[in-house]
Structure 1
Amino acid sequence: MMRISTMVKPRTNTVRAGLAEGRLLAGPVMQVASPELIEMAGAAGFDFVWIDCEHGAFHLETAVHMLRAADAVGLTALVRVPDQTPSLIMRVLDAGAQGVVVPNVSDGAQAQAVVDAARYRQDGGSGRRGACPGTRASWHQTEDWPAFSRQANADVLVWVLIESPAAVRNIDEILQVPHLDGVALGPFDLAHDMGFPGEVDHPEVQASLDEVVNRAQERGVEVIASLFSPDPQGMARERARWAARGIRLFSIGSDRRLIVRAMRERRAAIGTDPEGT
Protein backbone atom coordinates (compact mmCIF):
# COMPACT_ATOMS: atom_id res chain seq x y z
CA MET A 1 0.00 0.00 0.00
CA MET A 2 1.42 3.38 -0.98
CA ARG A 3 1.89 5.80 1.89
CA ILE A 4 -0.10 8.96 1.34
CA SER A 5 1.67 12.17 2.28
CA THR A 6 0.10 13.70 5.38
CA MET A 7 0.71 16.57 7.76
CA VAL A 8 0.39 14.24 10.76
CA LYS A 9 3.39 14.26 13.06
CA PRO A 10 4.72 10.73 13.65
CA ARG A 11 4.49 9.47 17.23
CA THR A 12 7.76 9.04 19.06
CA ASN A 13 8.09 6.66 22.00
CA THR A 14 9.89 9.01 24.36
CA VAL A 15 10.05 6.35 27.06
CA ARG A 16 12.14 4.01 24.93
CA ALA A 17 14.29 6.92 23.79
CA GLY A 18 14.80 8.14 27.36
CA LEU A 19 15.74 4.71 28.64
CA ALA A 20 18.24 4.34 25.80
CA GLU A 21 19.79 7.62 26.93
CA GLY A 22 20.03 6.37 30.52
CA ARG A 23 17.58 8.93 31.93
CA LEU A 24 15.19 8.59 34.87
CA LEU A 25 11.59 8.96 33.63
CA ALA A 26 8.42 9.85 35.48
CA GLY A 27 4.73 10.25 34.82
CA PRO A 28 1.38 10.59 36.59
CA VAL A 29 -1.59 8.23 36.60
CA MET A 30 -4.55 9.98 34.97
CA GLN A 31 -7.91 8.99 36.44
CA VAL A 32 -9.91 12.15 35.72
CA ALA A 33 -11.68 12.27 32.34
CA SER A 34 -9.87 15.37 31.15
CA PRO A 35 -7.74 15.87 28.02
CA GLU A 36 -6.67 19.22 29.48
CA LEU A 37 -5.04 17.48 32.43
CA ILE A 38 -3.04 15.41 29.94
CA GLU A 39 -1.89 18.65 28.32
CA MET A 40 -0.95 19.99 31.74
CA ALA A 41 1.17 16.89 32.39
CA GLY A 42 3.01 17.58 29.15
CA ALA A 43 3.44 21.24 30.02
CA ALA A 44 4.83 20.22 33.41
CA GLY A 45 7.56 18.24 31.68
CA PHE A 46 6.59 14.66 32.45
CA ASP A 47 7.84 11.87 30.19
CA PHE A 48 4.70 9.75 30.01
CA VAL A 49 1.14 9.44 31.25
CA TRP A 50 -0.65 6.32 32.39
CA ILE A 51 -4.32 6.69 31.44
CA ASP A 52 -6.25 4.62 33.96
CA CYS A 53 -9.23 2.88 32.39
CA GLU A 54 -9.41 0.46 35.32
CA HIS A 55 -10.05 2.93 38.14
CA GLY A 56 -10.94 6.02 36.11
CA ALA A 57 -14.66 6.63 35.57
CA PHE A 58 -14.56 6.80 31.76
CA HIS A 59 -14.63 4.59 28.69
CA LEU A 60 -12.67 4.24 25.46
CA GLU A 61 -14.30 7.20 23.73
CA THR A 62 -12.98 9.55 26.42
CA ALA A 63 -9.61 7.80 26.48
CA VAL A 64 -9.25 8.57 22.75
CA HIS A 65 -9.60 12.30 23.45
CA MET A 66 -6.97 11.95 26.18
CA LEU A 67 -4.68 10.16 23.72
CA ARG A 68 -5.15 13.04 21.26
CA ALA A 69 -4.04 15.44 23.97
CA ALA A 70 -0.95 13.32 24.64
CA ASP A 71 -0.10 13.40 20.93
CA ALA A 72 -0.48 17.17 20.89
CA VAL A 73 2.07 17.72 23.68
CA GLY A 74 4.45 14.91 22.71
CA LEU A 75 3.76 12.65 25.68
CA THR A 76 4.03 8.89 25.43
CA ALA A 77 0.68 7.58 26.60
CA LEU A 78 0.04 4.13 28.03
CA VAL A 79 -3.44 2.90 28.91
CA ARG A 80 -4.13 0.82 31.97
CA VAL A 81 -6.81 -1.55 30.72
CA PRO A 82 -9.51 -2.83 33.11
CA ASP A 83 -8.47 -6.46 32.75
CA GLN A 84 -6.47 -8.87 30.60
CA THR A 85 -9.05 -9.31 27.82
CA PRO A 86 -7.07 -9.35 24.54
CA SER A 87 -9.69 -7.34 22.66
CA LEU A 88 -9.36 -4.48 25.17
CA ILE A 89 -5.60 -4.42 24.74
CA MET A 90 -5.94 -4.37 20.95
CA ARG A 91 -8.57 -1.63 20.99
CA VAL A 92 -6.57 0.84 23.07
CA LEU A 93 -3.49 0.26 20.92
CA ASP A 94 -5.56 0.74 17.76
CA ALA A 95 -6.82 3.97 19.34
CA GLY A 96 -3.27 5.31 19.47
CA ALA A 97 -1.88 4.26 22.86
CA GLN A 98 1.83 3.55 22.71
CA GLY A 99 1.63 0.93 25.39
CA VAL A 100 -0.54 -0.89 27.90
CA VAL A 101 -0.44 -1.42 31.63
CA VAL A 102 -2.22 -4.67 32.46
CA PRO A 103 -3.49 -5.38 35.97
CA ASN A 104 -3.22 -8.45 38.18
CA VAL A 105 -0.96 -10.59 36.00
CA SER A 106 -0.07 -13.53 38.22
CA ASP A 107 1.74 -16.12 36.08
CA GLY A 108 3.73 -16.63 32.90
CA ALA A 109 0.78 -17.80 30.80
CA GLN A 110 -1.13 -14.59 31.54
CA ALA A 111 1.94 -12.49 30.78
CA GLN A 112 2.45 -14.29 27.47
CA ALA A 113 -1.18 -13.74 26.47
CA VAL A 114 -0.87 -10.03 27.26
CA VAL A 115 2.30 -9.63 25.19
CA ASP A 116 0.77 -11.56 22.29
CA ALA A 117 -2.33 -9.35 22.28
CA ALA A 118 -0.12 -6.25 21.98
CA ARG A 119 1.99 -7.44 19.04
CA TYR A 120 1.36 -8.27 15.40
CA ARG A 121 2.41 -11.72 14.26
CA GLN A 122 5.63 -11.37 12.27
CA ASP A 123 8.56 -13.59 11.36
CA GLY A 124 6.99 -16.64 12.97
CA GLY A 125 6.37 -14.89 16.29
CA SER A 126 3.43 -15.49 18.58
CA GLY A 127 1.70 -12.11 18.23
CA ARG A 128 -2.08 -12.09 18.07
CA ARG A 129 -2.93 -8.39 17.63
CA GLY A 130 -5.56 -8.01 14.95
CA ALA A 131 -4.21 -6.51 11.72
CA CYS A 132 -6.32 -3.59 10.52
CA PRO A 133 -4.81 -0.72 8.50
CA GLY A 134 -7.70 1.68 9.13
CA THR A 135 -7.12 2.66 12.76
CA ARG A 136 -6.19 5.83 14.57
CA ALA A 137 -2.84 4.23 15.43
CA SER A 138 -1.98 3.96 11.73
CA TRP A 139 -3.41 7.42 11.04
CA HIS A 140 -6.57 6.18 9.41
CA GLN A 141 -5.08 4.04 6.63
CA THR A 142 -2.48 6.58 5.51
CA GLU A 143 0.53 4.58 6.72
CA ASP A 144 2.41 1.93 4.75
CA TRP A 145 1.16 -1.19 6.50
CA PRO A 146 4.30 -3.38 6.54
CA ALA A 147 6.40 -0.48 7.81
CA PHE A 148 3.78 0.59 10.35
CA SER A 149 3.23 -2.89 11.80
CA ARG A 150 6.95 -3.47 12.26
CA GLN A 151 7.43 -0.08 13.87
CA ALA A 152 4.41 -0.69 16.13
CA ASN A 153 5.95 -3.94 17.34
CA ALA A 154 9.26 -2.19 17.98
CA ASP A 155 7.69 0.74 19.86
CA VAL A 156 4.86 -0.78 21.90
CA LEU A 157 5.38 -0.92 25.66
CA VAL A 158 3.87 -3.79 27.65
CA TRP A 159 3.94 -3.34 31.43
CA VAL A 160 2.25 -5.79 33.77
CA LEU A 161 1.22 -5.00 37.32
CA ILE A 162 2.63 -7.24 40.02
CA GLU A 163 0.02 -6.86 42.73
CA SER A 164 -0.64 -10.27 44.30
CA PRO A 165 1.28 -12.88 46.30
CA ALA A 166 0.77 -15.30 43.38
CA ALA A 167 2.52 -12.89 41.02
CA VAL A 168 5.46 -12.62 43.43
CA ARG A 169 5.70 -16.41 43.68
CA ASN A 170 5.59 -16.72 39.88
CA ILE A 171 7.78 -13.74 39.09
CA ASP A 172 10.49 -15.81 37.38
CA GLU A 173 8.10 -17.28 34.81
CA ILE A 174 6.52 -13.87 34.22
CA LEU A 175 9.92 -12.29 33.57
CA GLN A 176 10.88 -15.03 31.12
CA VAL A 177 8.22 -13.93 28.62
CA PRO A 178 9.90 -12.37 25.56
CA HIS A 179 9.02 -8.73 24.75
CA LEU A 180 7.73 -8.00 28.24
CA ASP A 181 8.98 -4.44 28.73
CA GLY A 182 8.34 -3.81 32.39
CA VAL A 183 6.85 -4.94 35.68
CA ALA A 184 4.98 -2.24 37.57
CA LEU A 185 5.00 -2.63 41.33
CA GLY A 186 1.51 -2.61 42.81
CA PRO A 187 2.19 -2.24 46.54
CA PHE A 188 -1.31 -1.12 47.54
CA ASP A 189 -3.10 -4.16 46.10
CA LEU A 190 -0.28 -6.42 47.22
CA ALA A 191 -0.50 -5.18 50.79
CA HIS A 192 -4.26 -5.69 50.78
CA ASP A 193 -3.97 -9.25 49.47
CA MET A 194 -1.27 -10.05 52.02
CA GLY A 195 -3.57 -9.00 54.86
CA PHE A 196 -2.05 -5.56 55.51
CA PRO A 197 -4.61 -3.12 54.02
CA GLY A 198 -3.04 0.24 53.26
CA GLU A 199 0.31 -0.73 54.82
CA VAL A 200 2.54 -0.41 51.77
CA ASP A 201 5.59 -0.03 54.01
CA HIS A 202 4.92 -3.21 55.98
CA PRO A 203 8.16 -5.27 56.14
CA GLU A 204 6.55 -8.31 54.50
CA VAL A 205 5.18 -6.21 51.66
CA GLN A 206 8.53 -4.53 51.15
CA ALA A 207 10.28 -7.91 51.19
CA SER A 208 7.99 -9.11 48.39
CA LEU A 209 8.66 -5.97 46.36
CA ASP A 210 12.39 -6.41 46.89
CA GLU A 211 12.14 -9.95 45.52
CA VAL A 212 10.41 -8.70 42.38
CA VAL A 213 12.99 -5.95 41.85
CA ASN A 214 15.90 -8.34 42.34
CA ARG A 215 14.50 -10.90 39.91
CA ALA A 216 13.64 -8.27 37.30
CA GLN A 217 17.10 -6.78 37.40
CA GLU A 218 18.65 -10.21 36.98
CA ARG A 219 16.54 -10.61 33.82
CA GLY A 220 17.12 -7.10 32.54
CA VAL A 221 13.43 -6.17 32.72
CA GLU A 222 12.54 -2.60 33.69
CA VAL A 223 10.70 -1.96 36.97
CA ILE A 224 8.16 0.82 37.38
CA ALA A 225 8.05 2.01 40.99
CA SER A 226 5.14 3.89 42.53
CA LEU A 227 6.01 6.87 44.70
CA PHE A 228 3.60 7.39 47.60
CA SER A 229 5.05 10.25 49.64
CA PRO A 230 2.58 13.12 50.02
CA ASP A 231 5.19 15.88 49.80
CA PRO A 232 7.93 16.66 47.25
CA GLN A 233 10.76 16.15 49.74
CA GLY A 234 9.54 12.69 50.68
CA MET A 235 8.99 11.79 47.05
CA ALA A 236 12.54 12.84 46.22
CA ARG A 237 13.83 10.56 48.96
CA GLU A 238 11.71 7.69 47.65
CA ARG A 239 12.94 8.28 44.13
CA ALA A 240 16.56 8.35 45.28
CA ARG A 241 16.12 5.09 47.20
CA TRP A 242 14.66 3.29 44.18
CA ALA A 243 17.12 4.87 41.74
CA ALA A 244 20.00 3.63 43.89
CA ARG A 245 18.69 0.15 43.12
CA GLY A 246 18.75 0.77 39.39
CA ILE A 247 15.08 1.67 38.85
CA ARG A 248 14.55 4.28 36.13
CA LEU A 249 10.75 4.52 35.74
CA PHE A 250 8.50 6.18 38.31
CA SER A 251 4.75 6.59 38.70
CA ILE A 252 4.32 9.75 40.78
CA GLY A 253 0.68 9.30 41.82
CA SER A 254 -2.74 10.06 40.44
CA ASP A 255 -4.07 13.35 39.13
CA ARG A 256 -6.79 13.12 41.80
CA ARG A 257 -4.24 13.03 44.60
CA LEU A 258 -2.20 15.85 43.11
CA ILE A 259 -5.23 18.11 42.67
CA VAL A 260 -6.72 17.41 46.10
CA ARG A 261 -3.38 18.00 47.80
CA ALA A 262 -2.95 21.32 46.00
CA MET A 263 -6.47 22.35 46.99
CA ARG A 264 -5.86 21.42 50.64
CA GLU A 265 -2.62 23.39 50.71
CA ARG A 266 -4.36 26.46 49.28
CA ARG A 267 -7.24 26.04 51.74
CA ALA A 268 -4.84 25.78 54.66
CA ALA A 269 -2.98 28.87 53.47
CA ILE A 270 -6.19 30.88 53.48
CA GLY A 271 -6.99 29.89 57.06
CA THR A 272 -10.20 30.67 58.92
CA ASP A 273 -9.33 33.88 60.78
CA PRO A 274 -11.04 36.80 58.96
CA GLU A 275 -8.30 39.17 60.11
CA GLY A 276 -5.51 36.87 58.94
CA THR A 277 -3.84 36.70 62.36
Structure 2
Amino acid sequence: MERAAELIAGADAVLVCAGAGIGVDSGLPDFRGTEGFWRAYPPYERLGLKFEEIADPVHFADDPALAWGFYGHRLALYRSTVPHEGFEVLRSWDARIFTSNVDGQFQKAGLTDVAEVHGSIHHAQCVEPCTDDIWECSFDVAVDPESMRALDPLPTCPNCGGLARPNILMFGDWGWVPHRSQAQLDELTAWRRTQQRLVVVEIGAGTAVPTVRRQAELASAASGALVRINPREPEVRHGRGVSLPMNALEALTALRAAIGRTS
Protein backbone atom coordinates (compact mmCIF):
# COMPACT_ATOMS: atom_id res chain seq x y z
CA MET A 1 0.00 0.00 0.00
CA GLU A 2 2.77 2.45 0.90
CA ARG A 3 4.67 1.67 -2.31
CA ALA A 4 1.51 2.19 -4.38
CA ALA A 5 0.85 5.49 -2.61
CA GLU A 6 4.41 6.63 -3.33
CA LEU A 7 4.02 5.83 -7.03
CA ILE A 8 0.78 7.81 -7.30
CA ALA A 9 1.99 10.74 -5.19
CA GLY A 10 5.17 11.02 -7.25
CA ALA A 11 3.50 10.82 -10.66
CA ASP A 12 2.77 13.71 -12.99
CA ALA A 13 -0.36 11.97 -14.26
CA VAL A 14 -2.60 8.99 -13.45
CA LEU A 15 -4.15 6.65 -16.00
CA VAL A 16 -6.87 4.39 -14.62
CA CYS A 17 -7.59 1.20 -16.57
CA ALA A 18 -10.85 -0.24 -15.27
CA GLY A 19 -12.95 -3.34 -15.79
CA ALA A 20 -16.31 -4.42 -14.40
CA GLY A 21 -14.89 -4.99 -10.91
CA ILE A 22 -14.80 -1.27 -10.20
CA GLY A 23 -18.61 -1.14 -10.15
CA VAL A 24 -19.20 -4.00 -7.71
CA ASP A 25 -19.02 -1.67 -4.70
CA SER A 26 -21.79 0.40 -6.30
CA GLY A 27 -23.97 -2.70 -6.39
CA LEU A 28 -23.40 -3.55 -10.07
CA PRO A 29 -22.93 -7.17 -11.19
CA ASP A 30 -19.59 -8.08 -12.76
CA PHE A 31 -21.00 -11.12 -14.65
CA ARG A 32 -18.05 -13.22 -13.46
CA GLY A 33 -18.64 -16.60 -15.09
CA THR A 34 -21.93 -18.15 -16.13
CA GLU A 35 -23.08 -18.69 -12.54
CA GLY A 36 -22.45 -15.05 -11.67
CA PHE A 37 -24.41 -13.94 -14.72
CA TRP A 38 -27.33 -16.19 -13.85
CA ARG A 39 -27.36 -14.91 -10.27
CA ALA A 40 -27.74 -11.40 -11.68
CA TYR A 41 -30.32 -12.45 -14.28
CA PRO A 42 -32.24 -15.61 -13.21
CA PRO A 43 -34.56 -15.61 -16.27
CA TYR A 44 -31.59 -16.40 -18.50
CA GLU A 45 -30.73 -19.45 -16.40
CA ARG A 46 -34.21 -20.78 -17.13
CA LEU A 47 -33.56 -20.19 -20.82
CA GLY A 48 -30.05 -21.66 -20.59
CA LEU A 49 -28.50 -18.51 -22.06
CA LYS A 50 -24.99 -17.40 -21.12
CA PHE A 51 -23.74 -13.80 -21.12
CA GLU A 52 -21.81 -14.36 -24.35
CA GLU A 53 -24.97 -15.65 -26.01
CA ILE A 54 -27.31 -12.89 -24.89
CA ALA A 55 -24.72 -10.18 -25.63
CA ASP A 56 -24.72 -11.17 -29.31
CA PRO A 57 -25.93 -8.74 -32.00
CA VAL A 58 -27.73 -11.55 -33.85
CA HIS A 59 -30.62 -11.25 -31.38
CA PHE A 60 -31.41 -7.73 -32.60
CA ALA A 61 -32.26 -9.29 -35.96
CA ASP A 62 -33.75 -12.58 -34.78
CA ASP A 63 -35.53 -11.59 -31.55
CA PRO A 64 -35.40 -7.82 -30.89
CA ALA A 65 -37.58 -8.03 -27.76
CA LEU A 66 -35.11 -10.49 -26.20
CA ALA A 67 -32.13 -8.32 -27.15
CA TRP A 68 -33.63 -5.07 -25.88
CA GLY A 69 -34.88 -6.84 -22.76
CA PHE A 70 -31.29 -7.38 -21.68
CA TYR A 71 -29.90 -4.03 -22.74
CA GLY A 72 -32.99 -2.08 -21.68
CA HIS A 73 -32.74 -3.51 -18.19
CA ARG A 74 -29.03 -2.65 -18.01
CA LEU A 75 -29.71 0.88 -19.27
CA ALA A 76 -32.22 1.47 -16.45
CA LEU A 77 -29.89 -0.15 -13.90
CA TYR A 78 -26.93 2.04 -14.83
CA ARG A 79 -29.06 5.18 -14.87
CA SER A 80 -30.23 4.51 -11.31
CA THR A 81 -26.86 3.45 -9.87
CA VAL A 82 -24.91 5.91 -7.70
CA PRO A 83 -21.11 5.63 -8.15
CA HIS A 84 -19.32 4.71 -4.93
CA GLU A 85 -16.92 7.09 -3.18
CA GLY A 86 -13.88 5.54 -4.84
CA PHE A 87 -14.78 7.40 -8.01
CA GLU A 88 -14.33 10.67 -6.11
CA VAL A 89 -10.78 9.57 -5.25
CA LEU A 90 -10.07 9.11 -8.95
CA ARG A 91 -11.53 12.54 -9.66
CA SER A 92 -9.25 14.08 -7.01
CA TRP A 93 -6.28 12.60 -8.89
CA ASP A 94 -7.52 14.19 -12.16
CA ALA A 95 -7.22 10.71 -13.63
CA ARG A 96 -7.65 9.78 -17.26
CA ILE A 97 -9.75 6.66 -17.80
CA PHE A 98 -9.51 3.67 -20.14
CA THR A 99 -12.36 1.23 -19.58
CA SER A 100 -14.14 -1.75 -21.07
CA ASN A 101 -17.24 -0.77 -19.08
CA VAL A 102 -20.22 0.58 -20.98
CA ASP A 103 -22.16 1.85 -17.94
CA GLY A 104 -21.19 5.55 -17.93
CA GLN A 105 -20.37 5.51 -14.21
CA PHE A 106 -17.17 7.52 -14.61
CA GLN A 107 -19.00 10.36 -16.33
CA LYS A 108 -21.78 10.18 -13.75
CA ALA A 109 -19.11 10.63 -11.06
CA GLY A 110 -17.78 13.76 -12.77
CA LEU A 111 -14.77 12.37 -14.66
CA THR A 112 -14.54 13.79 -18.16
CA ASP A 113 -11.54 12.21 -19.92
CA VAL A 114 -12.91 8.71 -20.48
CA ALA A 115 -12.03 6.29 -23.29
CA GLU A 116 -14.72 3.60 -23.59
CA VAL A 117 -13.12 0.90 -25.71
CA HIS A 118 -16.34 -1.14 -26.00
CA GLY A 119 -18.72 1.79 -26.45
CA SER A 120 -21.52 3.06 -24.23
CA ILE A 121 -25.00 1.85 -23.37
CA HIS A 122 -26.05 5.50 -23.16
CA HIS A 123 -25.58 5.87 -26.93
CA ALA A 124 -27.38 4.14 -29.78
CA GLN A 125 -26.94 3.39 -33.47
CA CYS A 126 -28.92 1.77 -36.29
CA VAL A 127 -28.94 -2.04 -36.35
CA GLU A 128 -28.21 -2.15 -40.08
CA PRO A 129 -26.46 0.37 -39.78
CA CYS A 130 -28.00 2.66 -42.39
CA THR A 131 -25.49 5.43 -41.49
CA ASP A 132 -22.61 5.78 -39.03
CA ASP A 133 -24.67 8.13 -36.85
CA ILE A 134 -24.47 7.67 -33.06
CA TRP A 135 -26.94 9.43 -30.77
CA GLU A 136 -27.61 9.69 -27.05
CA CYS A 137 -30.27 7.41 -25.63
CA SER A 138 -33.09 9.71 -24.62
CA PHE A 139 -35.59 6.85 -24.56
CA ASP A 140 -36.70 4.38 -21.90
CA VAL A 141 -37.19 0.67 -22.56
CA ALA A 142 -39.94 -1.10 -20.62
CA VAL A 143 -38.98 -4.66 -19.68
CA ASP A 144 -41.08 -7.53 -18.32
CA PRO A 145 -39.06 -8.64 -15.26
CA GLU A 146 -40.31 -12.23 -15.46
CA SER A 147 -39.46 -12.93 -19.09
CA MET A 148 -36.78 -10.22 -19.44
CA ARG A 149 -38.33 -9.28 -22.78
CA ALA A 150 -38.76 -5.66 -23.84
CA LEU A 151 -42.23 -4.30 -24.44
CA ASP A 152 -43.23 -2.28 -27.49
CA PRO A 153 -42.35 0.23 -28.72
CA LEU A 154 -38.70 -0.69 -29.22
CA PRO A 155 -36.12 2.04 -29.96
CA THR A 156 -35.86 3.00 -33.61
CA CYS A 157 -33.33 4.69 -35.85
CA PRO A 158 -34.23 8.34 -36.53
CA ASN A 159 -32.83 8.08 -40.06
CA CYS A 160 -34.45 4.96 -41.54
CA GLY A 161 -37.09 4.09 -38.95
CA GLY A 162 -35.65 0.62 -38.48
CA LEU A 163 -34.57 -0.94 -35.21
CA ALA A 164 -31.91 0.80 -33.11
CA ARG A 165 -29.36 -0.92 -30.86
CA PRO A 166 -26.88 0.19 -28.21
CA ASN A 167 -23.57 1.53 -29.52
CA ILE A 168 -21.75 -1.30 -27.74
CA LEU A 169 -19.21 -3.74 -29.17
CA MET A 170 -20.82 -7.14 -28.65
CA PHE A 171 -19.48 -10.65 -29.28
CA GLY A 172 -18.92 -11.37 -32.98
CA ASP A 173 -20.10 -7.86 -33.82
CA TRP A 174 -19.55 -6.68 -37.41
CA GLY A 175 -22.20 -3.96 -37.27
CA TRP A 176 -20.79 -1.84 -34.45
CA VAL A 177 -20.13 1.80 -35.36
CA PRO A 178 -16.75 2.50 -33.70
CA HIS A 179 -15.94 6.14 -34.44
CA ARG A 180 -17.08 7.60 -31.10
CA SER A 181 -14.91 5.18 -29.13
CA GLN A 182 -12.02 5.49 -31.59
CA ALA A 183 -11.93 9.28 -31.17
CA GLN A 184 -11.69 8.80 -27.39
CA LEU A 185 -8.88 6.25 -27.80
CA ASP A 186 -6.97 8.49 -30.22
CA GLU A 187 -7.17 11.37 -27.73
CA LEU A 188 -5.92 9.10 -24.94
CA THR A 189 -3.00 7.90 -27.05
CA ALA A 190 -1.99 11.47 -27.91
CA TRP A 191 -2.15 12.43 -24.22
CA ARG A 192 -0.06 9.44 -23.14
CA ARG A 193 2.73 10.46 -25.49
CA THR A 194 3.09 13.76 -23.65
CA GLN A 195 3.46 12.18 -20.18
CA GLN A 196 6.91 11.60 -18.70
CA ARG A 197 6.03 10.28 -15.23
CA LEU A 198 2.81 8.32 -15.65
CA VAL A 199 1.43 5.85 -13.13
CA VAL A 200 -1.20 3.32 -14.21
CA VAL A 201 -3.84 2.17 -11.71
CA GLU A 202 -5.67 -0.91 -12.95
CA ILE A 203 -8.94 -1.67 -11.16
CA GLY A 204 -11.22 -4.69 -11.36
CA ALA A 205 -9.91 -6.05 -14.65
CA GLY A 206 -9.75 -9.84 -14.88
CA THR A 207 -8.02 -12.16 -17.33
CA ALA A 208 -11.15 -13.57 -18.99
CA VAL A 209 -11.44 -10.54 -21.29
CA PRO A 210 -7.88 -9.15 -21.13
CA THR A 211 -8.43 -5.87 -23.00
CA VAL A 212 -7.96 -3.68 -19.92
CA ARG A 213 -5.01 -5.65 -18.50
CA ARG A 214 -3.16 -5.44 -21.79
CA GLN A 215 -3.68 -1.68 -21.95
CA ALA A 216 -2.47 -1.23 -18.37
CA GLU A 217 0.63 -3.35 -18.92
CA LEU A 218 1.42 -1.62 -22.21
CA ALA A 219 1.03 1.86 -20.73
CA SER A 220 3.28 1.00 -17.77
CA ALA A 221 5.81 -1.15 -19.64
CA ALA A 222 8.60 1.42 -19.73
CA SER A 223 8.47 2.37 -16.04
CA GLY A 224 6.83 -0.54 -14.23
CA ALA A 225 4.64 2.05 -12.48
CA LEU A 226 1.56 -0.16 -12.30
CA VAL A 227 -0.82 -0.56 -9.36
CA ARG A 228 -3.13 -3.55 -9.87
CA ILE A 229 -6.26 -3.60 -7.69
CA ASN A 230 -8.06 -6.94 -7.93
CA PRO A 231 -9.35 -9.18 -5.11
CA ARG A 232 -9.25 -12.40 -7.18
CA GLU A 233 -6.48 -12.00 -9.77
CA PRO A 234 -4.02 -9.49 -8.33
CA GLU A 235 -0.76 -11.02 -9.59
CA VAL A 236 1.68 -8.76 -11.44
CA ARG A 237 3.96 -10.43 -13.97
CA HIS A 238 7.72 -10.30 -13.46
CA GLY A 239 7.34 -7.96 -10.50
CA ARG A 240 6.54 -5.07 -12.84
CA GLY A 241 4.20 -3.24 -10.49
CA VAL A 242 2.39 -3.36 -7.16
CA SER A 243 -0.39 -5.81 -6.34
CA LEU A 244 -3.32 -4.86 -4.06
CA PRO A 245 -5.66 -7.86 -3.55
CA MET A 246 -8.63 -5.71 -2.55
CA ASN A 247 -11.97 -4.45 -3.81
CA ALA A 248 -11.99 -1.07 -5.55
CA LEU A 249 -13.59 1.04 -2.82
CA GLU A 250 -11.46 -0.44 -0.04
CA ALA A 251 -8.24 0.01 -2.02
CA LEU A 252 -8.97 3.55 -3.22
CA THR A 253 -9.98 4.67 0.27
CA ALA A 254 -6.77 3.19 1.71
CA LEU A 255 -4.66 4.77 -1.05
CA ARG A 256 -6.17 8.18 -0.37
CA ALA A 257 -5.21 7.85 3.31
CA ALA A 258 -1.71 6.55 2.49
CA ILE A 259 -1.06 9.36 0.02
CA GLY A 260 -2.15 11.81 2.70
CA ARG A 261 0.51 10.38 4.99
CA THR A 262 3.24 10.80 2.35
CA SER A 263 2.48 14.46 1.67
Give the TM-score range, shorter chain. Answer: under 0.3
What TM-score do you get using the length of structure 2 for normalisation? 0.27
**Given the two structures, how large is their TM-score scaled by the length of structure 1?**
0.26
